[in-house]
Amino acid sequence: MTGPFKHALACAATLLLSLGTHAVAHAGDITLFEDVDLRGRAVNLRETTDDLSRMGFNDKVSSILVRSGTWDVCTDAGFRGNCRTLGPGEYRSLPGMNDAISSVRESGRGDGYNPGRPGRDPDRGNGGYGRGSTLEVYSGAGQNGGSARLNRDTDDFVSIGFNDRTTSIVIYNGYWQLCSDSNYNGMCRVFGPGRHDDLGRGLDGRVSSARMVDEREARRQQQYENQYQRPQYEQPQYPQYQQPQYQQRGAILLFPDAGMRGEPLALDRNAEDLVRYNFNDRASSIVVNEGQWEVCSDSNFHGRCEVIGPGEYGRLNGLENKISSLRRVR
């Protein structure tokens, strides 16, 4: 055997060994048992199974052994219904899911993290944007109930069968913006890595879209929230609201003149372009009756933006006669 041929053969063997080792290291392995304590008839899986009835094992699982990988086990076929995520370990009983599992899939998370069990802590994740970011939404509090996993922006939760169902979430990396309306409209809030059991007023059970955002957006939100806590917002007094010169009532009132004078524009919803209301660049004073509002100098909530809470704003300083859009942020 010639020298060059020996060298080529050795390289090929090394490559095959490397590929084989890589495949073994990353292949998931789960065994389903018919009885508790890992007993009875068993089925071993190394790939996704969307309907266990095809294997004669539907609604028969009472215990599970996960040798490797991270797996989702769900009560309905097609990974629907109540789903739980299991990392490597022994699950000798399945409270709430005994004899109820119909589909199983490897989640591909690869970090062994499972809410409520030992493993990687998502609160220690890196604040990336997009790359490796995962959002898991749950229909029940405390990461219980049905779930769905997102790895990309989703502008309408109807498409994943999860519209207005989210009450708790887990973020494994990065930052996500959750919104009450589709296409990232309505009330929106940014969440960072970790478990979130309280989505806040306006989002609990009302999430319709979600997208990955830069960490700077989270910092910006925190600045707004700090601003919301200013004392003058807590017990506002609005004596002139009862005056007869205007009858409109709304969450926010825009006045064409300083000092809350002139005929106001009353709004209870977001306005992405005040041109539609014939009020673009006309607001000189504002009254906020409820909520916190972001007012911006450009349409679609761009340009210079400021957040204001309940109270009277007789002059708008740098934004006087320059407001083109506004939205409620809390």
Residues 179 and 163 in one domain: yes
User: Quick check: 132 pLDDT over 80?
Assistant: no
Higher pLDDT, 11 or 207: 207
Number of structural domains, the chain?
3
- What pLDDT is recorded for position 6? 55
- Contact criterion met (CB below 8 Å) for 41 and 55: no
Mean pLDDT of the chain: 78
Encode pLDDT of 73-127 as tens digits: 888 888 777 778 788 888 898 887 899 999 898 874 433 333 333 333 333 333 3
Residues 222 and 250 in one domain: no
Cβ-count burial 34-68 (b if 16+ within 10 Å, e if not): eeeebeeebbebeeebeebeeeebbebbbbbbbeb
Separation of alpha carbons 110 and 50, rounded Å: 20
- What pLDDT is recorded for position 21? 41
Spacing of C-alpha 25 from chain mean position: 30
- Predicted confidence band at 12 (pLDDT cuts at 50, 70, 90)? low
Separation of alpha carbons 64 and 46, rounded Å: 13
Residues 240 and 223 in one domain: no
Q: Is 10 left (phi over 0), alpha (psi -120 to 50) or beta?
A: alpha
What amino acid is encoded at 32 in this protein?
Answer: L
Is 18 inside any structural domain?
A: no
- Predicted confidence band at 234 (pLDDT cuts at 50, 70, 90)? very low
- What pLDDT is recorded for position 316? 87
- What pLDDT is recorded for position 24? 40
What amino acid is encoded at 292 in this protein?
Answer: Q
- Predicted confidence band at 226 (pLDDT cuts at 50, 70, 90)? low
Residues 263 and 170 in one domain: no
Which residue, 228, 245, 271, sits at the end of a domain? Answer: 228
Residues 221 and 279 in one domain: no
Residues 166 and 199 in one domain: yes
Is 195 inside any structural domain?
A: yes
- Predicted confidence band at 187 (pLDDT cuts at 50, 70, 90)? confident
Which residue's structure tokens are 């495949």?
A: 23
SS3 271: strand
Residues 315 and 243 in one domain: yes
The CATH number for 271's domain is 2.60.20.10
- Structural domain span for residue 270: 234-328
Is 140 inside any structural domain?
A: yes
Which residue, 228, 254, 282, sits at the end of a domain? Answer: 228
